[in-house]
Amino acid sequence: MTQLDEIGDTDDGSLEDEEVDEVVYSTDWRWSGNRNIDTNLIYMVYIDSISEVSGREATLNGWVYNIRTSKKLVFIIVRDGTGLCQTVVAQDDVSPKVWEQASSLQQESAIVITGMVNADERSIGGYELHVRDLKIVSQAEEYPITPKEHGVEFLMEHRHLWLRSRKQWAAMRVRNTIIFAIHRFFQERGFVQMDAPIFTGNAAEGTTNLFETDYFDRKAYLTQSGQLYGEAMAMAHGKIYTFGPTFRAEKSKTRRHLTEFWMIEPEMAYYDLDMNMDLAEEMMAFIVSEVVRLNRSELEVLERDTATLELIKAPFPRITYTEAIERLKSPQMQEKLDRMESDRQEEAESLKKELAALDSEFGQAKKGRKFQIDRRRGEINARMDQIEEDLRNIPVWKNSALEKKWGEDFGGSDETLLTMDEVTPVMVYGYPAEVKAFYMKRDSANDNIALGVDILAPEGYGEIIGGGQREDDLETLRQRIKEHNLPEEQFQWYLDLRKYGSVPHSGFGLGLERTVAWLCGLKHVRETIPFPRMMGRLYP
C-alpha cells in the first residue's frame, strides 16, 4: 500500500490513534484535517491562504507549474489548484537526495513540498517558500503544453490538460463565481430551484436544431430549454428557476454557439414583461458586481479590463426592436463603421512597424530579451489577426446594417453593432412576433409585436438573455401551436396550464457560457466551459 492509499483509508479524518508531533488547528476549514503524508504534522496549506503561515514552515501539495534551474538553485512555481507559489530549492540548504529530486523535476510532476514561507512582493502571489523537503508523488512525462504558444486546435485536443493553464483556470473560477451569484440572487428572493427534464417529447425553441434520440423505440429530444416545464413549476411555486444543460444541434460554427450549454431560466407567475425586464436587469447587475468583487486577480490573469465592468449598474438602456432597426440603418452607424475601419488600418500600420523593429532587434538580443520579444510578437500577431478579421467584416456589416428590414431577426453582427459602444448591456424589446417562438404573448395594442425581450451584452458579445411574457389564453395558444406546425398532442399538458388557473406570467433564459465569455473578455465560448461540445468537437 502506498502512503496515499493509507491516507484514503482514514476517510473519517480521525487522528485519534495516530502519533502526532504537533497539531496546529485553525478555525479555517482549509486547514482542518489536513496533514503531511510523511510526518503527520498538520501544517498543510492551500496557496490561497498561504498568508496565514507567513514566517513559518508549511507544506504545499501540488504540481510543478514551471521550473527554472541555475547552478545552485532550482526555482519551482507550484500550483495547487487555488493559486501559484514560487518556491526555491538551494543546494546548500537541502539534502543531496532532495537536491537531486528537485533537479530532475518535469513540468506537471506532482510534488509535496515543505519549507519556510516568507512574504516577498516580487514573487507571484506575494509569498515565497524556501524549500527544506520535497517529495515527488509522481514524475510527469514530457508535458505537451509548454510556455510557448500553441494553436487553438492543439489546445482543444488537450483540453483535459489545458484546463490547468492559468487563463483557463481563471476563466473557470469566474464561471464558478457567476454560478454561485445566480443561485444567491434567486435564493435570496424566494425563488425555488427546480429541474426540468433533459429528455423531452416536444420542441420548445423551434424544430430546426433538435437533437433526436432513440427512447425505447420512441423519439425523444434533448431539451432546448426548460422553460415550458418551468411554467408548470411556476404555477405550483410562484417563482422558480431552472439551472441545467440545454442542447441545440447548431450547425453554425460561430464563436457564440455550443451544442451543449447551460441555461438559467427563472419563471414567475403574475409577472408581466416590465417586471421581467426589471428582474433580468437586477440579476445581471448583481452577477457583474460579484465577479468584480470576488475575481479581481482572475480578471487580471485574463487581462480583462475591470474598469469597464465596474461601470455596469442598473438601469440598462431599453430600446424597442423598431428603434434598434433605425439605429442600424442610420447614417451615424455608417460613419461609425467608417471611423472604425480607418482606426484599424492605422493600428495595423503601427503594429507592423513595431514588429519590424522587434525582428531586427532579435538577432543580437540576450536570452531574457529574446523571450520578451517573442512574447510581444505573439501579442502583436494575435491583435493583427483580430484587425484583419475586423477589416474583412466591416464592409459586410455596413452593408447588412443598411439593408436591414423591419421584421427580420438580428444576426450576430447586428448585435455587435448595436452594443459596440455601450458599457452596460442593452435591452431590446417588442420584437416582431414572426421571429419569436410560439409561446410568446402578443402586445394587446399591436398583434404583430411579441412581448419578448433580448438582452445584448456590451462590447459586441451578443445576446446573453432571451425571454418574455407567455401566452396565457388557451385558444390563442392552441392556435399558435397549429400555426407553428407543432404536434398538439405533445402539448396537452402545456395547454392544461391555461385551463386550470391561467395567469399572466413571464421568464427568461440566461446563457451561462456567453455570460462567462463576456465577463472574462474571451472571444470564443469554447473557453468558457470545461469540456465544450460543438459541431466538430466531441473529444476529449
Judged by the rule CB under 6 A, the positions of this chain that interact with ligand 4AD are 204-205, 225, 227, 248, 250, 257-258, 261, 263, 265, 463-467, 507-509, 511, 513-514, 525
436 with 407: CB under 8 angstroms?
Answer: no
Query: Can you tell me the distance from the alpha carbon of 491 to that of 484, in angstroms, rounded to the nearest whole number?
Result: 12
Helix (H) or strand (E) holding 176: helix 166-188
263 makes contact, choosing from Mg ion, ligand 4AD, none, with CB < 5 to 8 Å by partner type, with ligand 4AD
How many angstroms separate the CA atoms of 316 and 538, rounded?
Answer: 38
Give the residue with the Cβ less far from Mg ion, 299 or 417. Answer: 417
If we measure between CA atoms, which residue out of 374, 363, 367 comes closest to residue 148?
374
The helix/strand/coil state of 370 is: helix
Instruction: Tell me whether residue 494 or residue 508 sits nearer to ligand 4AD (CB atom).
Output: 508
**What is the C-alpha R_g of the chain?**
28
Looking at the Cβ atoms of 97 and 484, the one nearer to Mg ion is 484
Residue nearest Mg ion (C-beta atom): 466
Residue with Cβ nearer ligand 4AD (162 or 262):
262
Nearer to ligand 4AD, 83 or 507 (CB): 507
Rounded Cα distance between 120 and 127, Å, is: 5
CB of 165 to ligand 4AD, least distance (A): 23
> Phi and psi of 104, rounded to 5°?
-95, 0
Q: Which partner, ligand 4AD, Mg ion, none, binds residue 467 by CB below 5 to 8 Å per kind?
A: ligand 4AD
Nearer to ligand 4AD, 227 or 295 (CB): 227
What is the rounded distance in angstroms from the CA atom of residue 262 to the CA atom of residue 19? Answer: 48
| Residue closer to ligand 4AD (CB basis): 133 or 205 | 205
Report the alpha-carbon distance of residue 414 to residue 396 in Å, rounded.
Answer: 11
Residue 115 interacts, among Mg ion, ligand 4AD, none and using kind-specific CB cut-offs from 5 to 8 Å, with none
Pick from 435, 502, 500, 489: which is nearest to 466 by CA? Answer: 435
- Stretch in the footprint of Mg ion (CB under 5 A) among 39-47, 275-283, 460-468, 473-481: 460-468
Q: What residues are paired with 73 via a beta bridge?
A: 90
Closer to Mg ion by CB, 466 or 532: give it: 466
| Least gap, CB of 277 to ligand 4AD (angstroms) | 12
Identity of residue 234: A
Contacted by 83, from ligand 4AD, Mg ion, none: CB < 5 to 8 Å by type:
none
Read off the C-alpha cell for 75. 526555482
User: Which position has the grid cell 458586481?
Assistant: 289
Out of ligand 4AD, Mg ion, none, which partner does residue 507 contact, by CB within 5 to 8 A per kind? ligand 4AD
For residue 265, give the H/E element and its range.
strand 260-269
Complex with ligand 4AD: residue 111 or 525, whichever CB lies closer? 525
Smallest gap from Cβ 212 to Mg ion, in A, equals 22
Q: Are 214 and 257 in contact (CB under 8 A)?
A: no
- Taking the complex as a whole, how short is the minimal distance between the CB of residue 67 and Mg ion, in angstroms? 47
- The secondary element (H helix, E strand) that includes residue 127 is strand 127-138
Closest CB to ligand 4AD among residues 43, 247: 247
Please give the Cα distance from 379 to 430 (Å, whole number): 42
Residue 425 engages Mg ion in binding (rule: CB under 5 A)? no
Task: Give φ, ψ of 253 to 5 degrees.
Answer: -100, 70
- Rounded Cα–Cα distance for residues 258 and 249 (Å): 9
Minimum gap (Å) between residue 272 Cβ and ligand 4AD: 14
For the CB of residue 75, give the shortest distance to Mg ion in the complex, in Å. Answer: 50
DSSP annotation of 297: H
The minimum distance between CB 273 and Mg ion, in angstroms, equals: 15
Kindly give the pairing relationship between strand 505-511 and strand 260-269. antiparallel
Q: Is 532 in the site for Mg ion (CB under 5 A)?
A: no
466 touching Mg ion, by CB under 5 A: yes
Q: Are 103 and 96 in contact (CB under 8 A)?
A: no
Query: Binding partner of residue 273 among Mg ion, ligand 4AD, none, CB under 5 to 8 Å per kind?
Result: none
Instruction: Give me the least distance between CB of 309 and ligand 4AD, in Å please.
Output: 18
Helix, strand counts (H, E) of the chain? 16, 17
Which is nearer to Mg ion, 124 or 435 (by Cβ)? 435
Given ligand 4AD, Mg ion, none, residue 265, with its beta carbon under 5 to 8 Å by kind, binds: ligand 4AD
Residue type, 18: E
Diameter of the chain measured on Cα atoms? 86
Query: Could you say which of ligand 4AD, Mg ion, none residue 156 binds, taking C-beta under 5 to 8 angstroms by partner kind?
Result: none
Q: Which three cell numbers stand for residue 391?
A: 477589416
Q: Determine the size of the site formed for Mg ion (CB under 5 A).
A: 1
Residue 246: CB minimum distance to Mg ion, A: 12
Sequence-distant (≥ 6) Cβ neighbours of residue 536 within 8 angstroms: 253
Which of 424, 521, 465 lies closest to 171, judged by CA? Answer: 521
Partner whose binding site includes residue 261, from ligand 4AD, Mg ion, none (CB under 5 to 8 Å by kind): ligand 4AD
- Kindly state the smallest distance separating residue 351's Cβ from Mg ion, in Å: 36
CB under 8 Å to 80, separation ≥6 — which residues? 46, 47, 60, 61, 62, 63
Q: Tell me whether residue 134 or residue 204 sits nearer to ligand 4AD (CB atom).
A: 204
Smallest gap from Cβ 372 to ligand 4AD, in A, equals 37
CB of 78 to ligand 4AD, least distance (A): 35
Q: Which residues bind Mg ion (CB under 5 A)?
A: 466
